[in-house]
Amino acid sequence: MPDTATFTHRFIPVGKRGPVLLLLHGTGGNEDDLLDLGRSLHPGAALLSPRGKVLENGMPRFFRRLAEGVFDEADLIRRTHELADFVVAAAAEYQLQTRKIVAVGYSNGANIAASILLLRPGTLAGAVLLRAMLPIVPENLPNLAGIPVLLAAGREDSFIPPESTNQLATLLQKAGADLTLRWSDRGHQLEPKEIEEARLWLKANFQ
C-alpha cells in the first residue's frame, strides 16, 4: 500500500481550488528548492514537493545515472513508479483527488516528470518540463491525448542535448500531448522570461 511516508516532502495547501503543482527539483536540490518558483508560477496552487531519494555524491536525485546523460534504466523505471505511487497516495491523504496535478520539474526533476508521463499516463494532468531530455523510450506509446505539456529548452545547454529534447517533443506529440516547445538562447540556467512564459502557460491551461 503506497503512502506519503515514502518520500520526504512538503505539502503546502494554499487555495482549495486550482491545480496542485508537483515540484521536482534538479540534481543536488531538495524539497524546499522550488517552493518559491511554485508560488510565483501559480499563487493559488497547492504545492507538493518531494525530495529525490537517490544520492549521487551526497546530492539528491530522482533516479540513478551511470554517467552524465546516461541513465540507469531499471532504476529509472522503478523510481518512476515509486514517485507516481507517492503522488496517488498524497492525493488521497491530502484530499486532492478532484484537483489537477501538474508537474513542474527542472533538469533531473523534469526528466522524471517526463518519465511519469510516458510510463504512468493518468498520473499527471499536465507538466512544465524545464530543461528535459528523452529519459526512456516506452515499450508502448502512452495515450496523452490533450494533456498540456510545456517544454522549455536551452539551445546552449551543455547537460541536456537539444536533439534529445527534440526526441522527447516528438514522442510526446505522437502520444497526443498538447505540446508547447520553447527554445531559449541560454544554457542550463533558466532566464526570467521563461518563468514568465511558464506562468502564463499555467494560467491559460490550469486556471
Nearest CB to ligand MLT, comparing residues 15 and 69: 69
Q: Does residue 108 bind ligand MLT (CB under 6 A)? A: yes
Helix (H) or strand (E) holding 204: helix 192-205
Residue 154, helix vs strand vs coil: strand
Which amino acid is residue 123, in one-letter code? Answer: T
Catalytic residue among 25, 49, 107, 184: 107
- Considering only residues 130 through 169, tell me which ones interact with ligand MLT, judged by CB under 6 A: 159
**178 is known as an active-site residue:** no
Q: How far is the CB of 108 from ligand MLT (least distance, A)?
A: 3
Among the listed residues 191, 13, 41, the one whose alpha carbon sits nearest the alpha carbon of residue 104: 41
Catalytic residue among 157, 158, 178, 185: 157
Nearest CB to ligand MLT, comparing residues 100 and 167: 167
Q: How far is the CB of 31 from ligand MLT (least distance, A)?
A: 16
CA 63/CA 138 separation, integer angstroms: 16
With the CA atoms of 162, 164, 168 and 169 taken in that order, what torsion angle do they form, in degrees rounded to the nearest 10? 30
The residues that touch ligand MLT, with contacts defined as CB under 6 A, are 26-27, 65, 68-69, 107-108, 111, 159
